[in-house]
Amino acid sequence: DKMKIRKSLIALAGVLALSACGQEAEEKKNVTLTVWSPAEDQDESQGNWLQTMCDEFAAANPQWEIEFKYGTVSEEAIGKTVVQDPKNSADVYMFSNDQIGTLLDADAIAKLGGEAAEDVKKNNSQLIIDSVTKDDAIYGIPFTTNTWFMYYDKSAFSEDDIKSLDVMLEKGKVAFPMTTAWYNGSFFLANGATLFGDGSDASKGIDFGGEKGLQTVNYMVDLVANPNFVNDADGAGLSNLRSGEVKAYFSGSWDYAQVKEILGDNLGASQLPMVNINGTDKQMLSFAGSKAIGVNPNCEDQEVAVALARFLGSSEAQLKHYEMRSVIPCSNELLSDPTISKDILINAQNDTIANTSIIQPTLSEMAPYWIAAETFGKALIAKDITKDNAQQKLDDYVTQLNNQ
C-alpha cells in the first residue's frame, strides 16, 4: 500500500544518503605536510604568518584533511639542512634562490610545471623569474626579493652625499659588514670582477684577480684604515647607529623596524653608493635574488605540496607577509599598488635590485666563495693584508675562491 511504499522510499533515501556520506568521507584525503620556515614567520608576536596561511589554505581546500607539522629553519640554512637527508626533510620549505644548484645536486627540490610555473612567469619581473630558473626549468615560487641596501641618517648626509661612500666617510661614521661574504664582494664587483662569466658558466670560475683585483684590494685596505669606517660584526652596526655614533648602515628589509625606531623621521634608505677605486668612481654591486617556496620531490603528496607552495607565494600571502613582518613583496600586482609603491623600504630594495646589483649565482660551484670571502674580510679587518703583501694575498684568495 501507499504507506509501505512511502516507508520503503524513505529507507532507500536514507541508504543513498549514507552511501553518499561514505563516498564523501572516502574522497576526503588525509594528508600530512611538514613545512619549514624561519622562526620569525612562526612568532606569535609577529602574527604567526606561516600557521595563519596554512590554516587559510586548509580551509580553502576541504577536499584534503591536512595535518601540518612545522619546523624552524632559515632560508639561508635550507641548502645545508635539507641536503643532509632529503627524504626525511620538509615537504615544503622556504629557501634563498642561490641554493638551487646545491638542492638539485641532492635531489631535494622539485621542478615546477603547469599552473605553478605559469604563476611564476605571470606574477614576477624577469629578474625574479630568472632567479628561480635553471636550465629553463622553474624550481620555486618567489615570495620576496632578496638583497641589501643602505640605511642612513638624513640629518647627517644629503641626497648628493649618499651617491659616494667616500664622500660619506668624510662626513660621518659608516658601518659595513666587511667580514660577511654576502657583502664584501661588492667592491670587487664594482671594479669589474665576475663570477662564472654572467653567473651561469661554471667553466669561467670566479675572476677576482688581475689588475682590477689588486686595485680593489688596495682600496679595501685604505677603507678599513679610515677612522670613520666601522666593521659591522656582532651587531656593532645597529648598536652604534642607536648610540648616534654611526650615521649609515648596510643591511636589508629584516632590520627596517629597528632602524625606523632608531632614526625616526631621519630614516633614509637608498640603493648602493659609488666607490672611488684607482681614481675612478665605480658602482658598488650587491648580490640580488629572491626567497622562494620550494617543494621536496620526495614528498608523498606532491599535488597538495605544490598547491600549498603556490598559496604561500600568492599575492594574498605576500600582502600578509608585508603587513605582519615588512617582508617586501615581489608580486607585480602588489608592487603596482599605490600604497605599497610609496614605501621607502620597497623603493630602496627595488632600486638596488634594478640599478646596483647582480643576480647571485645559483651554481653549486659557488660553495667555496663563502668561507674564502669571509676569511679574506677578517684578514682585512685584522690588518693582515697590506698594500705591501696585497698581490700575494689576492693570489691566495683567488685560488681559494676557485677551490684550486
Per residue, what are the HEC states of 309-352?
Answer: HHHHCCHHHHHHHHHHHCCCCCCHHHHCCHHHHCCHHHHHHHHH
Domain of residue 306, residue span = 29-146+289-347
Label residue 171 left, alpha or beta by phi (over 0 means left) and psi (-120 to 50 means alpha).
alpha
DSSP secondary structure string for all residues of 123-137 = HS-HHHHHHTEETTE
* Same domain? 196 vs 342: no
* Same domain? 203 vs 254: yes
Does residue 167 carry a pLDDT above 70? yes
Contact 97, 291 (CB under 8 A): yes
Q: What tens digit of pLDDT does each residue of 275-328 get?
A: 999 999 999 999 999 999 999 999 999 999 999 999 999 999 999 999 998 899
Q: What tens digit of pLDDT does each residue of 354-378 get?
A: 899 999 998 889 989 999 999 999 9
- 189 in a domain, yes or no? yes
As a whole number of angstroms, the distance between CA 151 and CA 153 comes to: 7
> Average pLDDT in the 150-161 region?
98
Pairing of strands 173-176, 246-251: parallel
Spacing of C-alpha 146 from chain mean position: 4
How many structural domains does the chain have? Answer: 2
Place of cell 630602496: 348
| pLDDT value of position 26 | 53
Phi, psi of 118 (to 5 degrees): -65, -35
* Same domain? 274 vs 387: yes
DSSP secondary structure string for all residues of 242-285 = HHTSEEEEEE-GGGHHHHHHHHGGGEEEES--EEEETTEEEE--
Output 21 or 363, whichever has higher pLDDT: 363
- 18 in a domain, yes or no? no
Reported pTM: 0.80
| pLDDT mean across residues, the chain | 92
- 2 in a domain, yes or no? no
* Same domain? 304 vs 379: no
Pairing of strands 29-37, 64-72: parallel
* Same domain? 78 vs 205: no
Of the candidates 364, 375, 373, 360, the one whose C-alpha atom is nearest the C-alpha of residue 401 is 373
DSSP secondary structure string for all residues of 60-127 = H-TTEEEEEEEEE--GGGHHHHGGG-GGGS-SEEEEEGGGHHHHHHTT-SPPB-HHHHHHHHHHS-HH
* Same domain? 318 vs 199: no
As a whole number of angstroms, the distance between CA 287 and CA 357 comes to: 6
| pLDDT value of position 339 | 87
pLDDT classification of 404: cutoffs 50, 70, 90: low
* Same domain? 197 vs 308: no
| pLDDT value of position 27 | 74
Kindly tell me the sign of the dihedral angle through the C-alpha atoms of 88, 94, 99, 105.
positive
Of the candidates 403, 401, 381, the one whose C-alpha atom is nearest the C-alpha of residue 194 is 401
Of the candidates 98, 228, 104, 214, the one whose C-alpha atom is nearest the C-alpha of residue 174 is 228
As a whole number of angstroms, the distance between CA 327 and CA 320 comes to: 9
Q: Which of 322, 347, 372 is the last residue of a domain?
A: 347
* Same domain? 232 vs 162: yes
| pLDDT value of position 54 | 98
- 15 in a domain, yes or no? no
* Same domain? 230 vs 92: no
Contact 384, 392 (CB under 8 A): no
* Same domain? 74 vs 188: no
Q: What tens digit of pLDDT does each residue of 205-261 get?
A: 999 999 999 999 999 999 999 999 999 999 999 999 999 999 999 999 889 989 999
Place of cell 659608516: 174
Q: What tens digit of pLDDT does each residue of 182-192 get?
A: 999 999 999 99
Q: Which of 323, 347, 371 is the last residue of a domain?
A: 347
CATH number for the domain that contains residue 392: 3.40.190.10
Residue 314 CB partners (closer than 8 Å, separation 6+) = 119, 331
* Same domain? 263 vs 367: yes
Kindly tell me the sign of the dihedral angle through the C-alpha atoms of 154, 159, 161, 162.
positive
- 255 in a domain, yes or no? yes
- 232 in a domain, yes or no? yes
* Same domain? 226 vs 124: no
Does residue 4 carry a pLDDT above 80? no
Does residue 23 carry a pLDDT above 80? no
Q: Which of 9-13, 216-220, 298-302, 397-401 is predicted least confidently?
A: 9-13
User: If you compute the radius of gyration of the chain from its CA atoms, what whole number of angstroms results?
Assistant: 26
pLDDT classification of 6: cutoffs 50, 70, 90: very low
- 393 in a domain, yes or no? yes
Q: Which of 347, 367, 390 is the last residue of a domain?
A: 347
Q: What DSSP element (H or E) covers 28?
A: none
Of the candidates 91, 90, 108, 88, the one whose C-alpha atom is nearest the C-alpha of residue 99 is 108
- 329 in a domain, yes or no? yes
Q: What tens digit of pLDDT does each residue of 130-146 get?
A: 999 998 999 999 999 99
| pLDDT value of position 48 | 95
Q: What tens digit of pLDDT does each residue of 33-77 get?
A: 999 999 999 999 999 999 999 999 999 999 999 999 999 999 999
